[in-house]
Structure 1
């Protein structure tokens, strides 16, 4: 399984020419990818997948996505981490109804996910398909 205390291998002080411009891309509160636990990173990805699939990203839906990788996810662990991500400005928490909150990625949360993908693509020396929304992919 995953370690809650896992940290990114990249150092925020280490740059190269390809990533120098986006190296310090951080949330408004100064949160970097390396500041997040593995569970928090996977929670951001779960919310992004729910949004991609046009599903409402409420606690139980996020929990179900995470349980595909983690097995049983403790209620307290999930909601504590969701609150931390909201405090860090990476997700926005809003009331869906009287008992349920919805969590959506902020621009900062999405930017951290995109930055991570770009770093992995660079590390693996692969191209990714980009599109302008027309359905006609282009190699980056």
Structure 2
């Protein structure tokens, strides 16, 4: 996961949190988070790159719509990332409660 951009990592998080989202659903979630419009020319090449890395799979809903699911490898990468983050912020967050 270290070789992903933060945008690609956010794509992975969005897909992991939904049930086979299609591109526009992913785009909507990212736009809400970033509070900016996400252009197709940015989203779809990044989706394809994350697919190429084996972290998500692309399926086909119909001739115009693709769906995306996280792979087992993608899930493991997310879990490893969360463990790494917890080393640094887990203690900080639990001590502020």
Q: Which residue of 2 aligns with 1:45?
A: 13
Deviation per CA, 1:18-76, whole angstroms, max 9, x where unpaired? xxxxxxxxxxxxxxx2100010000001111113xxxx410000000100122100111
Query: Which one of the candidate residues 41, 45, 59 is aligned to 1:94?
Result: 59
Give the TM-score normalised by structure 2: 0.86
Looking at secondary structure, tell me which structure has more helix per residue. Answer: 2
Structure 1 unpaired stretches of 5+: 1-32, 127-140
Matched, 1:60 2:24: yes
Which structure 2 residue ranges, 5 or more long, are not aligned?
92-97
Instruction: Return structure 1 stretches of 4+ with deviation > 4 angstroms.
Output: none
SS at match of 2:18: helix
Partner of 1:111: 76
Shift of residue 124, structure 1, vs aligned partner? 2.7
Larger Rg: 1
Please give the per-residue CA displacement for 1:66-90, whole angstroms capped at 9, x wherever unaligned.
0012210011110000111111101
Partner of residue 69, structure 1: 33
The alignment's C-alpha RMSD in Å is: 1.2
Shift of 1:122: 2.0
Q: 1 or 2 for the larger relative contact order (CA 8 Å, sep ≥6)?
A: 2
TM-score with structure 1 setting the length: 0.61
